[in-house]
Amino acid sequence: MNLEKVIFGFFIILAMTLNFGFVIGEIDNPAHHNITELFAVIVVNLIATVLKFGERTQIGAIHLATSLVAVLQLIAAASVWAYAVHMSADGLTPNAMASIVSLSAGALVANVLSVIMLIIETVLFHR
């Protein structure tokens, strides 16, 4: 067992599961989406992105691209949340919450693609 691959897979899967946990719930209900969970998703995705920088293969480049997409969308979601709470006169409206969850759902798709590629890479490694 390679400890580096275990840590790599751990963070990729943790990023996907945390992202799923944040997205699940009514899309416009702020009570179903916790800001702390969004922060955890961003931190874990950043760690997963850093772990992908060492890969020099084509699939490694796609891993990095999916991770960068996920991080970009999560930072956009956090920016919308910060704008709605701290700058907008209306506060955190259902429309703003729907935008935050939609951006996070886009990041979830990128994380799912990353996990699928990890599984494919693992299956091909044993052949």
Q: Note down the domain range covering 48.
A: 3-125
Distance CA 9, CA 49 (A): 12
Distance CA 49, CA 63 (A): 8
- For 7-20, the three-class secondary structure string (H helix, E strand, C coil) is HHHHHHHHHHHHHH
Residue 125, CA distances (Å) to 39, 44, 86, 118 in order: 34, 26, 49, 10
Q: What is the mean pLDDT of each run of 10 residues along the chain (127 residues)?
A: 89 96 95 95 96 85 94 97 96 95 97 94 79
Closest CA to 119 of 102, 111, 80, 103: 111
Output the pLDDT for position 127. 58
Number of domains in the chain: 1
pTM above the 0.85 mark?
Answer: yes
